[in-house]
Amino acid sequence: MSIHATHIARPVTVSRVMLKVLAALLPGIAVSVYCFGPGVLVQLLLATVTALAAEAAVLRLRQRPVAPALADLSAVVTAWLLALSMPPLGAWWMIVLATLFAIVLGKQLYGGLGNNPFNPAMVGFAVMIVSFPAQMAAWGTPLAALDAAAQLQWIFTHTLPAGSSLDAISSATPLDVLKTGLLQGGQDASQLLQQPRFGHWGNAGGEWVALAWALGGLWLWQQKLIPWRTPLAMLAGVLAVSLPLWLWQPAQYASPLFHLLNGATLLAAGFIVTDPVSGSTTPLGRLIFGFLVGVLVVVIRVFGGFPDAVAFAVLIMNMAVPFIDQTTQPRVFGRKGGRHA
Amino acid sequence: MSNTPSVWQDISRKGLWQQNPGLVQLLGLCPVLAISNNVVNALALGLATTLVTALSSATVSSVRHWVPHDIRNPVFIMIIASLVTCVDLAMNAWLHELYLVLGIFIPLITTNCIVMARAEAFASRQPVREAAWDGTMMGLGLTGVLVALGALRELLGKGTLLAGADKLLGPAGQQLTLQLAGPDYQFLLMLLPPGAFLGLALLIAGKNVLDARARQRAAAAANLAPHAEASPAP
């Protein structure tokens, strides 16, 4: 499958694009490994193997050629995005199950690459957060002293070597701490945010991971692989809700910086809302799509029941994409007025 | 034994498989999706619906010559509603716990499309015995889908089968419950509404696969047979 014009010397193939997306994820992965330990790599490996196996199995069932679909690397991108959104020290079956749902249900049952209305990685994530909220909330403690062997043992057997305590390896995410803290009452947001878990900018350790995602996203934009409209519109959407709330009652609501650096906000801006298949494709549509994803992320985080909301926001807006695309079709050159050119 | 199926066989085959209300006609989806989170609830609602469909079809058929065509729908609904009220009161009296669980879905059998559809499409133009048989088979077809979906969701969602069977069968039913996974096991998605949609989609896909295979076999047999017989012919 190639999408090249005649004047471009080297054709842009899907697998080249996907390879660059994977490369753009590397800085974030490196920082994640530094922060949460080699468990991150185990999650990536488990997700990749499961994704390729699931893709091959379904393609065989559908009697479609297997090799080209595996070689386009799109399943690996889905697997990596999913593995990077899941808890780094989650049990092995969680990432396997999530990847199966993403590839089989989110992608292949709709007809494979290019036909899925929903972002497959977000389908997998949403299935897990709805089904296993407790396990999904237990994140590795950043910079915890836990060696690789202990992490492996925890991921595969759910036991720990003698001497290490569960607190060292699983802590709630800052979003979770804030949400439960506010629900319990007693302390307001500004007091809660003084805790060491939040660091200086709202997410100790995690802020560097988030910035590394942003770096990868910027490189993809520089390589002309993602449009600037969707990510910027999404960040504008996040600001549009979080800034007024914070200015209105800083004691009650977290700052816009907190929302930018926590959860999957920057990962989504660079790699998830820019998915060319499930996102909007018209110029105006990309602005609307991205902006509303950003708005929904903050609205669901602040007023909803789940701590992070990127998956839900993206899935909800995926549903709206056909409508957005239809109503924002650009005028065809040479025709007057008519929206439905 | 003749090759042409009797009218009874034909009606059963349509109700249970070919025109299955849950998998083919996709009628009465609201209770199918809402009540199929375990086997016992699914079975109870399925049987209640079967009872209503059978009785209403028989009643509608028996009065079909006296019901004016223009007001047939209100008449059918009155008949169905009276029967549902009887089932509702009976379940409240004898299966009270189950009645509390199924709640609004018992009275809602009145508005279940499959009951009305059989009254309109079959019972209002067929003799009483055929209509009663059709209602029974359509109801059982729906019950089959409900139970299959209930089993799938209960097994994947909670790791049990037939939990709460005592509500349907009395204290003896408690021993029927199968615990197939650890007590901590829970896969919430299958118990929540998305699990109902996913499960029903899987069942429909499964039926389509089976039908497609049957068609292929039939086509293969039809291709072979004439060759074997007609080989001397040009």
Contact B188 A105 (CB under 8 A): no
| Nearest chain B CA: its distance from A253 CA (Å) | 31
Q: Are the C-beta atoms of residues A104 and A145 closer than 8 Å to each other?
A: no
Query: Which residue type does A192 have?
Result: L
Q: For residue A130, which residues of chain B lie inside 8 Å, CB to CB?
A: 188-189, 192, 194
**With 50 as the cut, is the pLDDT of residue B6 above it?**
yes
- Reduce the secondary structure of chain A to three states and give it as a string: CECCCCCCCCCCEHHHHHHHHHHHHHHHHHHHHHHHCCHHHHHHHHHHHHHHHHHHHHHHHCCCCCHHHHHCCHHHHHHHHHHHHCCCCCCHHHHHHHHHHHHHHHHHHHCCCCCCCCCHHHHHHHHHHHHCHHHHHEECCCCCCCCHHHHHHHHHHCCCCCCCCHHHHCEECHHHHHHHHHHHCCCCHHHHCCCHHHCCCCCCCHHHHHHHHHHHHHHHHHCCCCCCHHHHHHHHHHHHHHHHHHHHCCCCCCCHHHHHHCCCHHHHHHHHCCCCCCCCCCHHHHHHHHHHHHHHHHHHHHHCCCCCCHHHHHHHHHHHHHHHHHHCCCCCCCCCCCCCC
Contact B188 A127 (CB under 8 A): no
**With 90 as the cut, is the pLDDT of residue A147 above it?**
no
| Nearest chain B CA: its distance from A71 CA (Å) | 29
Q: Are the C-beta atoms of residues A25 and A84 closer than 8 Å to each other?
A: yes
Q: For residue B194, which residues of chain A lie inside 8 Å, CB to CB?
A: 130
A105, A130, A132 member nearest B192 (Cβ): A130
| Nearest chain B CA: its distance from A129 CA (Å) | 9
| Nearest chain A CA: its distance from B144 CA (Å) | 25
Q: For residue B186, which residues of chain A lie inside 8 Å, CB to CB?
A: 131
> Looking at chain A, which residue has its C-alpha nearest residue B193?
A130
| Complex ipTM > 0.85 | no
Helix (H, G, I), strand (E, B) or coil at B38: coil
Contact A130 B187 (CB under 8 A): no
**What is the secondary structure of B177-210 as a DSSP string?**
-EE-S-TT---HHHHSHHHHHHHHHHHHHHHHHH
Contact A131 B194 (CB under 8 A): no
Contact A130 B198 (CB under 8 A): no
Rg of chain B taking only CA atoms, in angstroms: 21
Q: For residue B198, which residues of chain A lie inside 8 Å, CB to CB?
A: 105
Q: Which of A131, A136, A306 should one mutate to test binding to chain B, selecting the residue with the greatest count of B CBs within 10 A?
A: A131
Contact B198 A131 (CB under 8 A): no
> Looking at chain B, which residue has its C-alpha nearest residue A126?
B189
- Supply the pTM of this predicted model: 0.83
**C-alpha dihedral over A244, A245, A250, A251, to 10 degrees?**
170
Q: How many CA atoms lie within 13 A of B135 on its CB side?
A: 29
Rounded CA-CA distance A135/B143 in Å is 36
Contacts of A50 by beta carbon, 8 Å cutoff, 6+ apart: A79, A95, A96, A99, A100, A103
pLDDT in tens, A105-143: 999 988 888 889 999 999 999 999 988 888 887 776 666
- For the record, the structure tokens of A127 come out as 């299935």
Q: Are the C-beta atoms of residues A246 and A57 closer than 8 Å to each other?
A: no
| Nearest chain A CA: its distance from B209 CA (Å) | 12
pLDDT in tens, A19-78: 999 999 999 999 888 888 888 899 999 999 999 999 999 999 888 888 888 888 999 999
> Looking at chain A, which residue has its C-alpha nearest residue B187?
A131
Determine the average pLDDT of the residues in B62-74.
Answer: 91
pLDDT in tens, B149-182: 999 999 998 888 888 777 777 777 777 778 877 7
